[in-house]
């Protein structure tokens, strides 16, 4: 059994090569079409233009650029994330992936266990608390049950019915800037699930670093 923390990687940002052309320039060129103000475009005008359109609520213009992110999260979090409509999703399939040899699970923020490979069936309860021990043993039982069902002749799409939400899944998400704003507003909020906030708050902060203006006004 392998235990890991969730993670993400920004795979692609649509809209430029980040030298002379950036996503903000693409958005500005598209937005100025609405006002026929293309003559006012220059290499330094994008930030102020995008600030103005966001202040006006003219967010359809920022749909011209998009971000693709690869998440490594547990399946419970992925079930919430795929409910967002205006996204493209590609997810690791429990129908076709065989987890017989060694399962990987995501450690939630309230469980005091270190990432790593656990080769033994036994955890010294003197080293961890009762809750972490109980959680670990539940996952171990699920892993063993899954492997036993496969040995009976079940295929992965049948045996997956015993897999828990904590199972690691890989999920690639592509959405335009406007939809990412919507996602961050919902999924970084204090009322969001703790595991969702654990991955979305760092992603929001990273997006603020690499793409100025677009996500700066989102607070939680």
Determine the average pLDDT of the residues in 5-31. Answer: 82
Residue 125 has pLDDT above 60, yes or no: no
| Digit-coded pLDDT (tens) for 46-65 | 888 899 999 988 899 999 99
- Which residues are tagged catalytic? 187
Q: What pLDDT, on a 0 to 100 scale, did the predictor assign at position 126?
A: 61
CATH number belonging to domain 7-70+172-210: 3.30.1360.170
| Digit-coded pLDDT (tens) for 62-86 | 999 999 999 999 999 999 999 999 9
Q: What is the rounded CA–CA span in Å between residue 220 and residue 204?
A: 11
Q: What pLDDT, on a 0 to 100 scale, did the predictor assign at position 36?
A: 81
Q: What pLDDT, on a 0 to 100 scale, did the predictor assign at position 120?
A: 67
Q: What is the rounded CA–CA span in Å between residue 171 and residue 117?
A: 22
Q: Which ranges in the chain are annotated with CATH 3.30.1360.170?
A: 7-70+172-210
Determine the average pLDDT of the residues in 179-194. Answer: 98
Q: What pLDDT, on a 0 to 100 scale, did the predictor assign at position 21?
A: 63
Determine the average pLDDT of the residues in 119-133. Answer: 74
Q: What pLDDT, on a 0 to 100 scale, did the predictor assign at position 28?
A: 87
Determine the average pLDDT of the residues in 168-185. Answer: 98
Residue 121 has pLDDT above 70, yes or no: no
């Amino acid at each position: 059994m392998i235990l890991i923390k969730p993670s993400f990687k920004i795979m692609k940002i649509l809209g430029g090569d980040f030298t002379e052309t950036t996503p903000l320039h693409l958005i500005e060129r598209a937005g100025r079409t609405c006002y026929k103000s293309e003559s006012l475009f220059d290499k330094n005008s994008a930030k102020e233009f995008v600030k103005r359109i966001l202040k006006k609520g003219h967010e359809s213009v920022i749909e011209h650029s998009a971000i693709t992110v690869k998440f490594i999260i547990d399946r419970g979090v992925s079930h919430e994330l795929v409910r967002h409509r205006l996204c493209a999703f590609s997810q690791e399939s429990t129908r076709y992936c065989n987890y017989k040899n060694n399962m990987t699970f995501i450690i939630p923020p309230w469980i005091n266990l270190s990432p790593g490979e656990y080769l033994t069936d036994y955890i010294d309860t003197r080293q961890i608390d009762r809750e972490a021990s109980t959680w670990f043993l539940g996952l171990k039982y699920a892993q063993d049950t899954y492997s036993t069902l496969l040995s009976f002749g079940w295929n992965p799409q049948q045996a997956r019915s015993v897999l828990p939400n904590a199972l690691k899944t890989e999920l690639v998400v592509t959405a335009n800037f406007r939809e990412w704003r919507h996602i961050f507003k919902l999924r970084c909020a204090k009322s969001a699930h703790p595991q969702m906030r654990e991955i979305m708050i760092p992603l929001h902060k990273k997006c603020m670093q690499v793409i100025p203006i677009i996500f700066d006004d989102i607070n939680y």
